[in-house]
């Protein structure tokens, strides 16, 4: 990473920390953990955006990556990551790989990340990019995220980076007792709600609304 990117990244990290303080009244999170901020600092966002968007790589905004998909706003990446409370022993599932940026951030904190992408071209590019950048603890699967990844379940933590009208039942089933899931719920093209879902050691599930958000829709065959 060059000096220009380093300067831009440091400015971005300061903006993320400031936004966390402003939104704490809604999220309950006044300061993101050192581990979360360290993970964002360690992932070069410019490697995950299209060439045409390079000048905006370290702005605190979402960016298009093609195929109707986006790379999320860095503040939202930080918030969702922080809410998961990842441990170094965790096996995590991400639904909606996109360019691989969020998976890379998770990979800095978890033991292994399985990430699902329904668009074959995005999945192939994501797989190549993460391998080139040395993220050996991420496996990219071309799959419908609504079904999760039964062959690798259960997962300690699950993150969904596209909005569904309700929580896919397969994902709840694949979350380990004691685990956490973060996902946006709501209809396309409207403001959605970011949800933190927790499964206790008995298997009981509780959830709370964290923040109003806006994500691209989760595509595929949503299970009833």
User: The domain that contains 143 carries what CATH number?
Assistant: 3.40.50.150
In a domain, 204, yes or no: yes
Confidence at residue 187, expressed as pLDDT on a 0 to 100 scale: 87
Rounded mean pLDDT, 24-45 = 96
Catalytic-labelled residue, pool 4, 33, 55, 72: 72
In a domain, 218, yes or no: no
For residue 112, the 8-state DSSP code is: E
Q: How far apart are CA 98 and CA 79, in angstroms?
A: 18
Which range has the worst mean pLDDT, 1-15, 73-87, 129-143, 207-221? 1-15
In a domain, 30, yes or no: yes
Known active-site residue 72:
yes
In a domain, 167, yes or no: yes
Confidence at residue 217, expressed as pLDDT on a 0 to 100 scale: 87
In a domain, 222, yes or no: no
Range of the domain at 72: 3-213
* Region at 56 (left for phi over 0; alpha for psi -120 to 50; beta for the rest): alpha
Q: At residue 127, does pLDDT exceed 90?
A: yes
Count of domains observed in the chain: 1
In a domain, 224, yes or no: no
The pTM for the full model equals 0.93
Confidence at residue 134, expressed as pLDDT on a 0 to 100 scale: 97
């Amino acid at each position: 990473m060059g000096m220009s990117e380093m300067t831009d990244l440091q400015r971005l990290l300061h903006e993320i920390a400031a936004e966390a303080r402003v939104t704490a009244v809604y999220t309950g999170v006044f300061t993101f953990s050192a581990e979360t901020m360290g993970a964002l600092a360690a992932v070069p966002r410019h490697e995950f955006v299209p060439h045409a968007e390079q000048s905006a790589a370290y702005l605190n905004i979402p960016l298009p990556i093609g195929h109707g998909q986006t790379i999320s706003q860095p503040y939202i990446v930080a918030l969702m990551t922080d809410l998961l409370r990842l441990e170094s022993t965790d096996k995590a599932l991400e639904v909606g790989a996109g360019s691989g940026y969020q998976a890379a951030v998770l990979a800095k904190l978890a033991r292994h990340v399985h990430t699902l992408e329904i668009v074959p071209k995005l999945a192939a590019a994501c797989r190549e990019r993460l391998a080139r950048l040395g993220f050996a603890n991420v496996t990219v699967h071309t799959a419908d995220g609504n079904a999760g990844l039964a062959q690798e379940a259960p997962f300690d933590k699950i993150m969904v980076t596209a909005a569904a009208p309700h929580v896919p039942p397969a994902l709840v089933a694949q979350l380990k007792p004691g685990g956490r899931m973060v996902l946006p719920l709501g209809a396309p093209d409207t403001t959605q709600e970011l949800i933190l879902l927790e499964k206790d050691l008995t298997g009981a599930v509780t959830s709370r609304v964290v923040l109003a958000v806006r994500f691209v829709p989760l595509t595929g065959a949503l299970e009833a």
